[in-house]
Structure 1
Amino acid sequence: MIRLSQIKIDIDKIKTESMEEEIECLLPFIAKHLHVKPDRLQTVKLVKRSLDARRKEAIQYSYTVDVSLENEKQFWKGKVSKTIQKAPESSYHFTPFGEKKMKNRPVVVGFGPAGLFCALELARAGYCPVVFERGEAVEDRIKTVETFWTTNQLNPASNVQFGEGGAGTFSDGKLNTLVKDPIGRNHKVLKELVHFGADSHILYRNKPHIGTDKLRVVVKQIREEIIRLGGEVHFNSLVTDLKVENNQLQAIEINKKDIVPCDVMVLAIGHSARDTFSMLYEHHMDMEQKAFAIGVRVEHPQTVIGRAQYGDAYKKLPTAEYKVTYQSSSGRGVYSFCMCPGGFVVNSSSEQGYLAINGMSNAARDERNANSAIIVSVNPFDFGENHPLAGVEFQRKWEKAAYQKGNGLIPTQLYGDFKENKKSSGYGSVIPNTKGKTSFANLRECLPDYVCHSLIEGMEAFEHKIRGFSNPETVLSGVETRTSSPIRIWRDEEHMSNIRGVYPCGEGAGYAGGITSAAMDGIKIYEAIASVYRPIQ
């Protein structure tokens, strides 16, 4: 096939959300670029679509497509250029080749993206996995979380962090990743999501996203497929202990009562499983502190972001996003994280007496505000001690402060008041759009001084990139602490921990940073297991 890139088309010429209709619009442009008649085009596959908004008066879509032609060999005579290349072969393929017999069915602990995709691949290959998830099934979890946002009554076992689909179920559902992927796991994840109900545009659009409402449907469909293929999924099932003999896993304890024989376990527990981290530490599982970032959520009217990014054309285009970075005078990185166009700021707490927030968008991204975490890098030096779980206690310290200063509600403050180090008394032009109740507080009392100073530097710098970013009436909410896992669990070349039979996996173990990379790591752990063990007979 031929890979054709940099096909630039005015935004007014693409007025459809259908992939098939989009391809139909592109056919004459593809033929023109290849200097062939349109009837020579046999197949066209969209590889990537991005926006070129460098000239706001003439914004264009930029496409990369793979095309097959009649008499393609003849076409290649003298036709290779920077924009016309042979399409690379990048389809994912893996065949299990392990020969060792398992004593018991493999266990997957945690049912976020890493656990979901690991269990799905194990089930397809005949390993009949057993999944244990501490939270609820997604349909029950939604009700529990909605009740929490309305009443502020937290269920520590099932919330925005815990339950089927993991923390990503209540997010924007962004699917971009910076992980290098020579064997095609990334595209496989996207194809599977489409297979289970996501829109096909995630396969080719730049910065793809599902949206929390669509992701919930996909998650349930994957669960049902795992069960159909012989797997089991158990909710409200927390792993409370391990049974280890001679450094080999023998069994796990569920809910402090049930013992399940287990010699192969995938540990996909997520970045907020603090009680599980402590239990693993007591079993001398090798782990270490890891740097992450903390800060606040900022909210702007979506129209402000749209105009800043696209000018007057913003009404014709997909909801505008942004990504900003800055290095403060102290050397700390300040950057946007998990930007949610047309979304909500959500109370994502998972422990009584502690408060953390996140962002969430539905697929339509049509709420009035844009929000993003603006966060500052922190590292083990900031944690104050060498204990592997010191980063967890560092998170808890500031989450406790946020809970107390906000009287158990999401603490909010105007940016102008944040700079002046005073509590706000009312909102201005920006009205927060939250899931969960709010109260005014001084967020300077909920974060370290060095983080606050870096945030102010960053906000002022971002004004030069996005006009209106540092508006004094911009709303800040706190605190954002769950940007990534505060630990990394060691694993060897076989992807096992020092306790044999335990495979640390995904974001909680420190090997991923988002939905896609976590799902990719789940597939990687499946491959590791299937390279040693044969399917269940």
Structure 2
Amino acid sequence: MLRITELTLPLHHPEEALPAAICRRLRITPRELVRHVIARRASDARDKTDIQLVYSVDVNVRDEAAVLARFRKDRGVQRTPDTRYQFVAKAPESGVSLRPVVIGAGPCGLFAGLILAQMGFRPIILDRGKVVRERTKDTWGLWRRSVLNPESNVQFGEGGAGTFSDGKLYSRIKDSRHLDRKVLTEFVKAGAPPEILTEAHPHIGTFRLVTMVESMRETIEQLGGEYRFSTRVDGLDIATDAEGKRRVRGLHLHTGDTLEADHVVLAIGHSARDTFAMLHAAGVYVEAKPFAIGVRIEHPQSWIDKARFGADAGNSILGAAEYHISHHCKNGRTVYSFCMCPGGTVVAATSEEGRVATNGMSQYSRNERNANSGLVVAIDPARDYPGDPLAGIALQRHWESAAYVAGGSSYKAPAQRLGDFLAGRPSESLGSVVPSYRPGVHPTDLAQCLPDFAVAAMREALPVFGRQIPGYDHPDVVMTGVETRTSSPVRFTRGDDFQSLNTAGLFPAGEGAGYAGGILSASVDGIKVAEAVARSIVG
């Protein structure tokens, strides 16, 4: 089978245009084309008056050798790569003395547990939160009744923070082993739409993620894995061997029990701040990491569709339009869009009492009234919180607490019309753009819950973005604060063997450890770490 890449056709092409284009590209007759399958489809809307679809296609032809010889110097025509996943190890038939433990049941922990289970290692998976459906009820408790459960919310529980998101399944990771394909394939097995295997920017949405997470848990349990929910790890049992090397020997649970373990995957997510502090106190190597802070910004989705697709706005192939923008400011800061959610809602994402944090979420249909994204400003440890690896957490907490007060101390979020924000005056009411945040917003001045440098940078960037996307800086656009959980503020640095630099047997993984950013990259990292655990166990 051959793969053709960069095959371009007009948006409104008829079905028969694709095989005809394949024949032209390969310089063969229609009789020589046996079969074709779309491997990937993307859209190119740089010219919104002439939107193109860009295909990668796998084809069978009658004389493959002749075609390959004809295109031997053309990278656009190659043999189709083998994307099948190959396991790196297998558990001994006699079993292992101590089962590997995975802390965290988000995307990273889920795939670490799945791969270990598929290799026969029967992992134990711990999560401080609840099973996904109970967790969903608790999350709605905050959104509908302003009641926060600090152990079961948008951040904590089965499925992790990615469950309440747009469900994006693309990233910028370089993946020569096609581990991303393994992730997508397992998601389809668990109930995701097959289209995620071919779309250039696939997504799932919250409702589908819930059922998929349940299905994958059942698979892990059928393979001998074990889940323990509402189980928080409050300490490590670390021993020093004869060579003076620290090794993990067990986990102290909040119940008072100790779980023996010598291979522990640390997939705790980016908001487990108390666990970060525990690990730091236990001497596990940790360093501060850059992240970003800002707001959620909402526009009517129809504005974004028209700005991006012109007359083709609303086309079912194109779906709801997205955007990715950035601007380098005079004060040395960079403002950029983050986690854009077409046709979605802004949600309450705090995990701590007396604080407000926002995030974005979409369903698979992406058919809600507004588009939203993070409008955030990059910050870095050396400049903004030097000296203490946990100082970024203190910075996040400070502005989340300020947002709680600015919102009326009731888990409502502070909000402001964009026009008022640019003018430096508080909003007393909102305009034509209706905010989607639950449990509600309080019009105010966002400058009181953001660093001065972030306010200045966003005020410079917004008119620039308005020239790039018509309507982006409309005065009635709603900004809701604060967006602080863009990524982990720490990194638990690991070596080439994926183990902590100074604590053997501890495998930092995923977004919370500073090695991923989003569902797909966290899942891929979970696979890599599971493989490292397996290699370590079998020697």
Name the TM-score class by shorter chain.
over 0.9
In the TM superposition, 1:22-41 aligns within 5 A as 26-41=18-33
Alpha-carbon contact 2:39-2:198 (below 8 Å) kept: yes
- Where do 5+ consecutive residues of structure 2 fail to align? 241-245
What is the match of residue 451 of structure 1? 454
Alpha-carbon contact 2:26-2:67 (below 8 Å) kept: no
- In 2, the alpha carbon distance for the partners of 1:306 and 1:135 equals 38
The one-letter code sitting in structure 2 at the alignment partner of 1:86 is R
Of 511, 522, 529, 2:526 maps to 522
The one-letter code sitting in structure 2 at the alignment partner of 1:285 is V
Report how far residue 486 of structure 1 moved. Answer: 0.2
- In 1, the alpha carbon distance for the partners of 2:527 and 2:214 equals 18
What is the match of residue 85 of structure 1? 78
Alpha-carbon contact 2:103-2:109 (below 8 Å) kept: yes
Any idea what the Cα deviations from partners look like across 1:173-212, whole Å, max 9, x if unmatched? 1111111111111121111111211111111212211111
1:57 lines up with 2:61 in the alignment: no
Percent of aligned pairs sharing the same letter: 43
- In 2, the alpha carbon distance for the partners of 1:204 and 1:121 equals 23
1:7 lines up with 2:10 in the alignment: no
Count of residues in correspondence between the two structures? 527
Q: 1:514 to 1:429 in 2, by over 3 A?
A: same
Any idea what the Cα deviations from partners look like across 1:439-463, whole Å, max 9, x if unmatched? 1121100000000111111111111
Report how far residue 5 of structure 1 moved. Answer: 2.2
- In 1, the alpha carbon distance for the partners of 2:182 and 2:6 equals 24
What is the match of residue 510 of structure 1? 514
Please say which of residues 248-257 and 224-233 is displaced more in the overlay.
Answer: 248-257
- In 2, the alpha carbon distance for the partners of 1:231 and 1:521 equals 19
Alpha-carbon contact 1:101-1:533 (below 8 Å) kept: no
Any idea what the Cα deviations from partners look like across 1:92-126, whole Å, max 9, x if unmatched? 32321688984311110000011000000000111
- In 2, the alpha carbon distance for the partners of 1:239 and 1:88 equals 42
Alpha-carbon contact 1:335-1:375 (below 8 Å) kept: yes
In the TM superposition, 1:217-256 aligns within 5 A as 217-246=211-240, 247-256=246-255
Q: 1:128 to 1:318 in 2, by over 3 A?
A: same
In the TM superposition, 1:462-481 aligns within 5 A as 462-481=465-484
Report how far residue 82 of structure 1 moved. Answer: 5.5
Of 140, 145, 156, 1:162 maps to 156
The one-letter code sitting in structure 2 at the alignment partner of 1:381 is A
- In 1, the alpha carbon distance for the partners of 2:301 and 2:428 equals 24
The one-letter code sitting in structure 1 at the alignment partner of 2:139 is V
What is the match of residue 243 of structure 2? none
- In 2, the alpha carbon distance for the partners of 1:125 and 1:76 equals 37
- In 1, the alpha carbon distance for the partners of 2:49 and 2:274 equals 54
Please say which of residues 324-333 and 358-367 is displaced more in the overlay.
Answer: 324-333
The one-letter code sitting in structure 1 at the alignment partner of 2:270 is H
In the TM superposition, 1:98-109 aligns within 5 A as 102-109=96-103
What is the match of residue 70 of structure 1? 62
- In 1, the alpha carbon distance for the partners of 2:341 and 2:189 equals 25
- In 2, the alpha carbon distance for the partners of 1:150 and 1:291 equals 33
What is the match of residue 350 of structure 1? 351
- In 2, the alpha carbon distance for the partners of 1:109 and 1:228 equals 19
Alpha-carbon contact 1:150-1:437 (below 8 Å) kept: no
Please say which of residues 432-441 and 398-407 is displaced more in the overlay.
Answer: 432-441
- In 2, the alpha carbon distance for the partners of 1:103 and 1:474 equals 59
- In 2, the alpha carbon distance for the partners of 1:437 and 1:470 equals 23
Any idea what the Cα deviations from partners look like across 1:405-446, whole Å, max 9, x if unmatched? 102311111011112222212221211122332211211000
SS at match of 2:304: helix
Alpha-carbon contact 2:68-2:78 (below 8 Å) kept: no
Any idea what the Cα deviations from partners look like across 1:384-412, whole Å, max 9, x if unmatched? 44111000001001000000110231111
1:494 lines up with 2:497 in the alignment: yes
- In 2, the alpha carbon distance for the partners of 1:330 and 1:412 equals 25
Alpha-carbon contact 1:103-1:263 (below 8 Å) kept: no
Please say which of residues 78-87 and 291-300 is displaced more in the overlay.
Answer: 78-87
Alpha-carbon contact 2:36-2:60 (below 8 Å) kept: yes
Alpha-carbon contact 1:485-1:507 (below 8 Å) kept: yes
In the TM superposition, 1:127-276 aligns within 5 A as 127-246=121-240, 247-276=246-275
Q: TM-score, normalised by structure 2?
A: 0.94
Alpha-carbon contact 1:383-1:390 (below 8 Å) kept: no
SS at match of 1:236: coil
Report how far residue 340 of structure 1 moved. Answer: 0.2
Any idea what the Cα deviations from partners look like across 1:504-536, whole Å, max 9, x if unmatched? 11000001111111111100011101112139x
The one-letter code sitting in structure 1 at the alignment partner of 2:348 is N
Please say which of residues 56-65 and 476-485 is displaced more in the overlay.
Answer: 56-65
- Where do 5+ consecutive residues of structure 1 fail to align? 15-21
SS at match of 2:462: helix
Any idea what the Cα deviations from partners look like across 1:51-96, whole Å, max 9, x if unmatched? 1223322212111112121221123342454543333444432321
What is the match of residue 401 of structure 1? 402
Please say which of residues 276-285 and 244-253 is displaced more in the overlay.
Answer: 244-253
What is the match of residue 115 of structure 1? 109
Structure 1 residue runs of 4+, over 4 Å off?
Answer: 97-102
- In 2, the alpha carbon distance for the partners of 1:493 and 1:83 equals 34
- In 1, the alpha carbon distance for the partners of 2:34 and 2:414 equals 57
- In 2, the alpha carbon distance for the partners of 1:214 and 1:77 equals 45
SS at match of 1:532: helix
The one-letter code sitting in structure 1 at the alignment partner of 2:130 is E
The one-letter code sitting in structure 2 at the alignment partner of 1:528 is A
Q: 1:260 to 1:369 in 2, by over 3 A?
A: same
Alpha-carbon contact 2:128-2:232 (below 8 Å) kept: yes
What is the match of residue 17 of structure 1? none
Report how far residue 25 of structure 1 moved. Answer: 7.2
Please say which of residues 307-316 and 242-251 is displaced more in the overlay.
Answer: 242-251
Over the aligned positions, Cα root-mean-square deviation in angstroms equals 1.9
- In 2, the alpha carbon distance for the partners of 1:190 and 1:25 equals 28
What is the match of residue 365 of structure 1? 366
SS at match of 1:131: strand
Alpha-carbon contact 1:90-1:182 (below 8 Å) kept: no
Report how far residue 311 of structure 1 moved. Answer: 0.3
What is the match of residue 95 of structure 1? 88
SS at match of 1:464: helix
- In 2, the alpha carbon distance for the partners of 1:515 and 1:427 equals 34
Please say which of residues 511-520 and 375-384 is displaced more in the overlay.
Answer: 375-384
Q: TM-score, normalised by structure 1?
A: 0.94
